[in-house]
Amino acid sequence: MHLRKRIMVTGGAGFLGSHLCEKLLNRGDDVLCVDNFFTGTKDNILHLMKNPHFEVMRHDVTFPLYVEVDEIYNLACPASPIHYQHDPVQTTKTAVHGAINMLGLAKRVGAKILQASTSEVYGDPEVHPQPESYRGNVNPIGPRACYDEGKRCAETLFFDYHRQSNLRIRVARIFNTYGPRMHPNDGRVVSNFIVQALKGEPITLYGDGTQTRSFCYVDDLIEGLVRLMDAKDSVTGPVNLGNPGEFTIRELAETVVRLVGRKGKKPAFKKKPLPADDPLQRCPDIRLAKKVLEWAPKVRLEEGLKKTIPYFRDIVARG
Ligand code: NAD
Ligand code: UDP
Ligand code: UDP
Q: What is the pLDDT of residue 61?
A: 98
Catalytic residue (one of 147, 161, 178, 217): 147
pLDDT of residue 1: 58
Atom of ligand 3 nearest to the CA of 205: 7
Q: What is the pLDDT of residue 3?
A: 76
Q: Which residue stretches of 144-188 are H helix?
A: 145-165
- Distance from the alpha carbon of residue 139 to the mean position of ligand 2, in angstroms: 30
Mean pLDDT of the chain: 96
Ligand 1 atom 6, closest CA: 11
Question: Does residue 206 have its Cβ closer than 6 Å to ligand 3?
Answer: yes
Whether residue 164 is predicted with pLDDT greater than 90 in this model: the reply is: yes
**Ligand 3 atom 14, closest CA:** 189
Confidence of residue 189 (pLDDT cuts 50, 70, 90): very high
- 8 and 170 Cβ atoms separated by less than 8 Å: no
Is residue 95 within 8 A of residue 154, CB to CB? The reply is: yes
Instruction: Establish whether residue 63 lines the binding site of ligand 1, counting it when its CB lies within 6 angstroms of any ligand atom.
Output: no
Measured in Å, residue 249 CA sits from the centre of ligand 3 at 8
What gap in Å lies between CA 44 and CA 39, rounded to an integer?
A: 11
Q: Work out which ligand 2 atom sits closest to the CA atom of 63.
A: 7
pLDDT confidence band for 267 (50 / 70 / 90): confident
Show Cβ contacts of residue 319 under 8 Å, excluding neighbours closer than 6 positions.
none
Ordered DSSP codes for 56-124: EEE--TTS------SEEEE--S--SHHHHTTSHHHHHHHHHHHHHHHHHHHHHHT-EEEEEEEGGGGBS
101 lines ligand 2 (CB under 6 A): yes
24-41 confidence digits (pLDDT tens): 999 999 999 999 999 999
pLDDT for 96-133, tens place per residue? 999 999 999 999 999 999 999 999 999 999 999 999 99
> Ligand 1 within 6 A of 179 CB?
no
Q: Please compute the mean of the pLDDT values over residues 165-169 and round it to a whole number.
A: 98
Phi and psi dihedrals of 174, rounded to 5? -90, 130
Going from the Cα of 231 to the center of ligand 1, the distance in angstroms, rounded, reads 23
- Closest ligand 2 atom to Cα of 109: 8
Other beta carbons less than 10 A from residue 39's beta carbon: 21
Residues 6+ apart with CB under 8 A from 61: 10, 34, 36, 74, 76, 94, 97, 98, 101, 102
**Tens-place pLDDT, residues 37-46:** 999 999 999 9
Q: Which ligand is nearest to the CA of 183?
A: 1
What value does the mean pLDDT take over residues 170-199?
95
How many Å apart are CA 173 and CA 155, to the nearest integer? 10
Least reliable range by pLDDT among 2-6, 66-70, 217-221, 310-314: 2-6
Question: Which pLDDT does position 319 carry in this prediction?
Answer: 80
pLDDT at 262: 66
Distance of alpha carbon 252 from alpha carbon 308, whole angstroms: 14
Q: Which helix (H) or strand (E) holds 191?
A: helix 189-199
Residue pair 303/248 in contact by the 8 Å Cβ criterion: no
Percent of the chain with pLDDT over 70: 98
pLDDT for 2 beyond 80: no
How much helix, strand and coil, in percent to the nearest 5, is found in the chain?
Answer: 40, 20, 40
How far does the centroid of ligand 2 lie from the alpha carbon of residue 124, in Å?
34
Residue 265: predicted pLDDT = 65
Q: Measured in angstroms, how far is the CA atom of residue 267 from the centroid of ligand 1?
A: 31
**CA dist., res. 36 & res. 51, Å (int):** 21
Q: What is the pTM of this model?
A: 0.96
- Best of 8, 59, 68, 100 to mutate for ligand 2, by most ligand atoms within 8 A of CB? 100
pLDDT of residue 232: 98
**CA 180/CA 313 separation, integer angstroms:** 11
311 is catalytic: no
134: phi then psi, degrees, rounded to nearest 5:
-70, 130
